[in-house]
Structure 1
Amino acid sequence: MWIIVTILAYFFVLMGISRLAVRRADNQAFFRAGRRSPWYMVAFGMVGASISGVTFVSVPGMVLTSQMTYLQVCLGFIVGYLAIAFLLLPVYYKLNLTSIYTYLGQRLGASSYQTGAWFFLVSKMVGAAVKFYVVCLILQQFVFEALGVPFFINVLLMVSLIWFYTRKGGVRTLVFTDTFQTVCLFMALLLIIFMVVQSLHFSMGDAVRAIASDAHSHIFEFSDWRSPFFFWKEFLSGAFIVIVMTGLDQDMMQKNLTCRTLREAQKDMCSYGVAFVPANLLFLSLGVLLVQLFQQQGVEIPAQGDQLLPMFVKGEVIPLTSQLLPLLFVLGIVAASFSSADSALTSLTTSYCVDIRQKHDDEKLRKRVHLAVCLLFVAFIVMFHTLNSKSLIDAIYTIVSYTYGPLLGLFAFGLFTKLYVSQRWVPVVCVASPFICYGIACAAEQLLNYHFGYELLMLNGLLTFVGLWLCRCSVPPYTR
């Protein structure tokens, strides 16, 4: 009962923030927040928006299979954010963009523009729906199942709440609500860590020393270049992951483009990028402490790392003395999932209206599209639940990760060459590149025993770039 009250109270706070933040609900507020957002609020809120509910559950469990080597990727993130701040943001601000894919139209032509926008729309819809599906499953298990609420109603309720507080203000609302949600997320995380430390009968100093001396705290891997956890592979992949999944992603860039000036946007990007290392260090440290608690209590460590934190929250490691722990867990999950899903739905609405329909000022269209995107989001989540296949979800995540490569290739070709490309071949190249990339990955594993990790993104982008170069021409497509 207290969990339901907490979720409702949380929603009403979001609604209150939304009403205070947005006094004039027009397209300029929805798409660009009037370019008046304080950079420090955008930076702080973006940390929470980048941490989904899946991250909240999965990252602590990573220590079981990869120790703390994920921090190598996070260090690469910093390089990626610097590249965005000083290479991409100047271009976006110079062109005064609402959607970043407009750049592709101005530089490479209409076919490149539409191809980039559609790749984003499909990838973001499927990827965001999968993430939110996992969160809805957790909420069903912890909250709604005991109340006899069907899964469909659970999903419809959660997405409806997001629609209610974003339908008028869009990105203007998100700048303020994400700040509040980031506070809630980290408050919940820190309190859960504190409760684990108490359960271990540690002081905070003891906890720090226990984490530092634990074998699961191994960070740097330089010994085996074939390993997916090899430092340079993870570090460089981290940089490219950020460039593509932040710098070339309308979802992640839309709020950054609401800052008043380019310099403020660059300060936002750099500070936000550096914050990822300590943020993920907290999640991984929680994972190490949970492993120690499982061992101390003689409880078998789960085969799936995703079960590490939920088992503790459900009282399967030590008996619960109050409902505070499940309440904190649900609060953290809701804060992380809302701040991730609301920005995804807003950016999908923006991209469809601006890129596909090319109607910046049609408020009626924007309202209809926003509602339609939310309903489609519900449909995807319910479909995943109906199919109920873990292997299918893993496959969808893999497919989505492949689809960002063509965006990397398109933007790289536009930024680093002065060439143009035959418009009829752009969709062919962008669709073919992920399939060729998959074939190379399978062949490398079979013939060389080489296992691709995050570097698949770089290979995919390179293949797209080469394909575009082979279809190059020296005359702009819009002059022929």
Structure 2
Amino acid sequence: MSPLLVFSIIAGYFLILLVISYFTSGKADNATFFTANKESPWFLVAFGMVGATLSGVTFISVPGEVGNSNWTYLQFVMGNMVGYGVIALILIPLFYKLNLISIYEYLRNRFGQKAYLTGSSFFIISQTIGASFRLFLAALVLQIAFFDTFEIPFFVTVLTTILLIWLYTFRGGIKTIVWTDTLQTTFLLLAVIISMYIILNHLELSILQMVKVVSESKMSDIFEWNWRSDRNFFKTFLAGIFITIAMNGLDQNVMQKNLTIKRTKDAQKNILWFAITFFIATVLFLTLGILLYKFAFDTGITIPDSTDDLYPMLALNHFGIAAGIVFLLGITAAAFSSADSALTALTTSFCVDILDLPSRKAKGQQKTRLAVHLGFTALMFCVIMVFNQINDSSVVNAVFKVAGFTYGPLLGLFSFGLLSKKQVKDKFVPLICIISPIICVILDLNSATWFYGYSFGFEILLVNALLTCFGLFMIRKSTISKNNYGT
């Protein structure tokens, strides 16, 4: 694929995003940026959230991972469905009742200012690292596909992409994101479907024959019952539930989109329909994984050492120009649909939670928000460059994994607040929320030695949350909150 063609695809894509931004950000103010004036159609939010949830990491990794762990990832997604049910039935009504801009305002109402700032800070840390990591992977693809040809340095690639994101989000914020996410989800799903269609044509398979190939493949095995495995069904299913609650229901990035919907019932419908669409999309990714391996085996193509390289290698080098174009659009859409909403959510959380911007005088609010938005853009650029300097995938993945531990305290804080009426000594909450993930990192590193070969998987998040709840119980007061919401 020629560099000029790659440039045309990426430039055309961003031009569409800028046009959407122009039409959605007219007369935009802080309320538009933070809540889209609560005018978003629920079905649009539901569809757009698929693209934001299926990040560039998922787009590249899930199909390739089929060769390592079959369809066991679907166990995790089954747990996700239960988690989304909890979000729709419990968290959505709570957040709407309290009329929140940032969901971490609940922690101030329930426990106090220290808990509130702790929750928001943990989100900011984890979201900055996570979003930067996903954008880093996308920038690497663009570097190889286009910028390397002209010997353009990687930092220019990163700076260009992140400034483009800033350009189409800095005015409309979440209102723009709702619409751009819809476009990006469309490109992402089209990329998968068209890739599958091209493979079927190459292999001369019909849809019915494809279903037979997938069902008969060893790679389509879903369930793992070995209790020592980090893919054990019970561990993975439970982890799917609680990770969804923590990383979706207790994540400002995701919940900010839900809070742009006017009515509680519509927001609940949004979550449930999103869950169904997300499940179908995951099955498509897993099906694509089997087809990619079958194509490679049947045509004698060597499987790369890193399974993450399988889909990009085949799409860009073996499926033809059309498939390469679709793949580039898909990976770009997947990466930027998560990065742009993360940038908006980080700006919102910092402005509302840390600066308490809504309580300030109207004059200067918008300038402050713009400065924060630009500041997080610069911060993400710096984090991406650090990832590039490390230049060690195992170290980068370790950093990304550590960032995931910060969701455990959030899950513990909200769980203790909802399931207990106890008040806590607020000044000790930050200490509890720091100690819990540290203990979990130690457990994760030594579990195989200490627990007879048992290896922690996703369920380490639940352990993290339980430790946080135990710590909060230990610093409880004798008084109780006025009701289950702590308000």
TM-score (norm 1): 0.96
Which of 34, 41, 44 in structure 2 is aligned with 1:41?
Answer: 44
Aligned to 1:145, the other structure's residue is in SS state: helix
* 1:314 counterpart SS class: helix
Structure 2 residue ranges without an equivalent (≥5):
482-487
3-state SS of 1:149 partner: coil
TM-aligned CA deviation for residue 443 of structure 1: 3.8
Q: Aligned-pair distance for 1:476?
A: 7.4
2:77 is the alignment partner of 1:74: yes
Would the aligned equivalents of 1:109 and 1:476 in 2 still touch at CA under 8 Å? Answer: no
Inter-partner Cα distance in structure 1 for 2:21 and 2:443: 48
Give the structure 1 partner of residue 449 of structure 2.
446
- Return the offset for 1:407: 0.4
Equivalent position of 1:459 in the other structure: 463
Residue pair 2:74, 2:222 contacting (<8 A) in 1 also: yes
- Paired position in structure 2 for 1:357: 355
Separation in structure 2 between the aligned mates of residue 118 and residue 442 of structure 1, nearest angstrom: 25
Instruction: Report the alpha carbon displacement of residue 313 of structure 1 after superposing the two structures with TM.
Output: 2.1
TM-aligned CA deviation for residue 250 of structure 1? 0.3
Cα 1:7/1:442, change in 2 over 3 Å: closer
Displacement of 1:437 in angstroms is 1.5
- Among candidates 209, 224, 234, match of residue 212 of structure 2: 209
C-alpha distance in structure 2 between counterparts of 1:309 and 1:356, whole Å: 41
The question of 1:101 aligning with 2:116 is answered: no
Equivalent residue, structure 2, for 1:129? 132
Matched AA of 1:308? L
Tell me the CA shift for residue 180 of structure 1.
Answer: 1.0
**Partner residue in 1 for 2:273:** 271
Residue 144 of structure 2: which of 138, 141, 144 is its match? 141
Q: Which structure 1 residue ranges, 5 or more long, are not aligned?
A: none
Question: 5 Å matches for 1:77-476?
Answer: 77-222=80-225, 224-315=226-317, 318=318, 322-360=320-358, 362-447=365-450, 448-475=452-479
Amino acid at match of 2:353: D
Give the C-alpha shift of residue 308 in structure 1.
1.1
1:395 aligns to what SS in structure 2? Answer: helix
Q: Which moved more, 1:155-164 or 1:433-442?
A: 433-442
Using the alignment, how far apart are the partners of 2:101 and 2:20 within structure 1? 24
- 1:147 Cα deviation from its structure 2 partner: 2.3
Contact 1:103–1:113 (8 Å) recurs in 2: yes
Asked if residue 61 in structure 1 is aligned to residue 59 in structure 2, the reply is no
**Secondary structure, counterpart of 1:23 in structure 2:** coil
Count of residues paired in the alignment: 474
User: What secondary structure does 1:220 align onto?
Assistant: coil
Stretch deviating more after TM superposition (111-120 or 12-21): 12-21
Q: 1:389, 1:186 → 2: CA distance?
A: 30
TM-score norm. by structure 2 comes to 0.95
Query: Given that residues 287 and 308 in structure 1 are in contact (C-alpha distance below 8 angstroms), is that contact kept between their aligned partners in structure 2?
Result: no
Distance in 1, matches of 2:398 and 2:324, equals 30
- Deviation digits for residues 306-365 of structure 1 (CA, Å, limit 9, x no counterpart): 0111221232xx4x5x42222111100111111100000000000000000001251111
RMSD after superposition: 1.6
Aligned-pair identity in percent equals 44
